[in-house]
Amino acid sequence: MQQYKQTSLIYSALFIGQLLFAVLVVWMITTGKAANATEGYRSYTFEQLPLIIALTGLTGAFLMNRLRTTQGAGLENIGRVLQHYHTTVILRSAILEGCNLIVLTLALLHGNLLYLIYFGLGMAGFLYFRPSPEGLAKEYGLTRQQEAELKRIVGEK
């Protein structure tokens, strides 16, 4: 089954894409190529927006993961478990990536490198939810037999 390899590939592509966009944002800000869309405008709420977005993304991904893994815990067929896990990884990654890209866009618009702290927070969450056979087994409460079949599928010894 290529399902698990596909899941890891999608996750890796999303991760690398975010990092590349972050490098572009840093380059644009440090070279002065970023437009400052809010020059002269200061608002406490607006300055806290990247933090709010990062925390919302982390919370949303955590809740989505909890809901999905609870729903999928009763599946007995390892193929169905892998399909469910694949969708779970995509959903939680999309939530975090969307929030991370919004934070990077705000950093670019404001020319503020400090917003990258919130991007780092989001990336830490993204790494926390990295797909792994061990994580899948733990989150879905796989039996020993299902774990053995999973290891055989993903090519572990």
User: What pLDDT sits at residue 35?
Assistant: 62
Mean pLDDT across the stretch 28-42?
Answer: 67
Q: What does the DSSP 8-state code read for residue 115? A: G
The total of other beta-carbon atoms located within 10 Å of residue 97's CB is 21
Rounded distance between C-alpha atoms, residue 140 and residue 121, angstroms: 26
- Phi, psi (5° rounding) for residue 65? -60, -45
- Is residue 38 scored above 70 in pLDDT? no
User: What pLDDT sits at residue 34?
Assistant: 66
- Output the six-digit token pair for 145: 């037999």
| End-to-end Cα, the chain, rounded Å | 16
What is the model's pTM?
A: 0.84
- Segment 46-69, tens digit of pLDDT: 678 899 999 999 999 999 999 999
Rounded distance between C-alpha atoms, residue 46 and residue 23, angstroms: 23
When pLDDT is cut at 50, 70 and 90, the band that residue 36 belongs to is: low
